[in-house]
Amino acid sequence: MTDNSHTEPDSPVDAPTSPESIFGRQETNHTTTIPGGLHGTNAGVSEGCSHSNPVCTCNTSAEDRAVLLEDYLDRLAVEGWSDLRLMPLDQEGKLPAIASRGIKLDSPPGRALLHTPEEAVRALSTGGERGFCLYAGREEHGTEGLLFVDIDDPERLPPEDLPETLTVTSGSARGYHLTYRNDGEVANSKATGDLHGAGEVRASNWYVVLPGSVHPSGGVYHLTKDTPIAPLSEEDLPKELLPGSNSEGSTVKGGQQVEPLQVAGLPDDPAETTNDVGMTLKEVRERSEKLDRLLSDLLPRDYDYHSVSEADMATARLLLLWRFDEATTGALLQAYRDREGRVEGSESKMRRKDYVATTVRKTALLDVEAFDRDLMRAFMEDARENGGRPTVSLESVREVYNVLILIDREQYTVQDIMETDMVARGYAKGASVKRRVRRALHLLVRTGALEDRKSPGFPTQYVDTGLSDLYIPDSL
């Protein structure tokens, strides 16, 4: 969220400039009343809160938060979205739980986390979850035809400039989530030009945090306009929020799955290109969602790239990080990120060797530190032994690695790691967390950074044989 706050008292969204604007007073535009014991003088922002939201954990019980979620879900049900599947948030309250656990949304573990509306309300009321989110436009989640406009800067993108609809105030109270019915033409987009950073359209496979959820600041997302859900078409959006708008002045036809070109120096199937440890590009793409997106879409709408050229450099960085050499990186850029037929009003830069060479060279000069060779080989072997799927995520390995570095002993047991309380547990059972820790340790043993020593009747001891020499990148 940006730091810009919308304080216009006459806004149709009724941004709460005082507690009375949402607590205990029925507005003519159907502004909702917060449930429970929150009416009256106790409803204001508490001293010490790091936000301007009058609805926060200081004055909102778990039961109250559950009612906030239930009211929103009831409105969706009335409008035809009743068979929903909600994803819980992580412990910080900003990301889906799958993000911190390193699992994919459509994987069996990801699907196991989903809640029905009734389950989600119950989980909030008992304090079992910090909050929930919905993914827009996913038939399997019951959200087909549902889209959201996320307004981060109401000063530049006022909600009243869009059709009046069901509106949620964000946990920080600096922005809004507007819920719409997609007319079938609206696609994902991020505001560009004069509105860059002011908001986003989330129409497909992109989540939005729901009422009743707790923001990291302690503020609670809540309904401020309970009105029927309006339809939204491209004609309702400013040009800066239309898909394909970008700062290079050309229109990007995003979201297309494009067949790679044949480029000299690459195999007939570029997906079989290998890095310096023998890992194929296909295997790398299965482990790096960001690289996979960049090789499929010139300007992925759910990443904050201001131009296609910036996305080119991001692609080059990831390829170098995954240990493809500079020549191979340039060839892969030409194969997967050619602009022909994908960008209107732009020359095909990837056909120019000078542009490709400059992009790779400039990226390499940023001191990109490649993925550790031994760690990459360990991941590759682990996945190949498991039918192509790794048994543990990079995030889990990094997490356990960080714990070991902080403990700073010569040897460790699984129990030593568990007792630090530094391993994210979420709502997983202890046995499941231990299993994740063991798998991470086993992979670190494969790298040679640890050695496992087993004695009958005693827990396995993991001895540090080179942890400090291991480099684990922060982002892939």
**3-state secondary structure string, 385-441?**
HCCCCCCCCHHHHHHHHHHHHHHCCCEECHHHHHCCCCCCCCCCCHHHHHHHHHHHH
Judged by average pLDDT, the poorest of 262-266, 294-298, 301-305, 447-451 is 301-305
Prediction pTM value = 0.49
Task: Give the three-class secondary structure for 445.
Answer: helix
In terms of domains, do 424 and 443 share one? yes
In order of 16, 30, 217, 224, 395, the CA distances from 38 in angstroms are 15, 18, 19, 15, 40
* Residues facing 89 on adjacent strands: 96
What pLDDT is stored for residue 301 in this prediction?
Answer: 67
Give the domain extent around 144: 19-241
What pLDDT is stored for residue 255 in this prediction?
Answer: 45
Cα 427 to chain center, whole Å? Answer: 19
pLDDT, one tens digit per residue, over 178-224 is 999 999 789 888 888 788 888 999 998 889 999 999 998 899 999 99
What CATH number does residue 440 fall under? 1.10.10.10
Which of 241, 270, 302 terminates a domain? The answer is: 241
Whether 447 has a pLDDT exceeding 60, the answer reads yes
Q: How many angstroms separate the CA atoms of 76 and 208, rounded?
A: 14
What is the chain's Cα-based Rg?
Answer: 25
Q: Tell the burial category of 137 from Cβ atoms under 10 Å away from its Cβ (0-12, 13-18, 19+).
A: buried
Whether 388 has a pLDDT exceeding 90, the answer reads no
Is residue 169 within 8 Å of 217, Cβ to Cβ? no
Q: Which of 134, 108, 107, 105 is nearest to 120 (CA)?
A: 134
pLDDT, one tens digit per residue, over 152-187 is 999 999 999 999 999 999 998 989 999 999 997 898
Which of 341, 364, 387 terminates a domain? The answer is: 364
Q: Which of 211, 190, 200 is nearest to 133 (CA)?
A: 211
Is residue 459 within 8 Å of 409, Cβ to Cβ? no
Whether 476 has a pLDDT exceeding 80, the answer reads no
Q: Higher pLDDT residue, 326 or 300?
A: 326
In terms of domains, do 207 and 64 share one? yes
What pLDDT is stored for residue 37 in this prediction?
Answer: 35
In terms of domains, do 236 and 263 share one? no
Local confidence band at 27 (pLDDT 50, 70, 90 cut-offs): very low
Q: Higher pLDDT residue, 34 or 461?
A: 461
Q: How many angstroms separate the CA atoms of 93 and 89, rounded?
A: 5
Section 249-257 average pLDDT: 43
**Six token digits for residue 58:** 């200081």
Residue 5 lies in a domain: no
Looking at residue 112, its amino acid is A
In terms of domains, do 186 and 267 share one? no
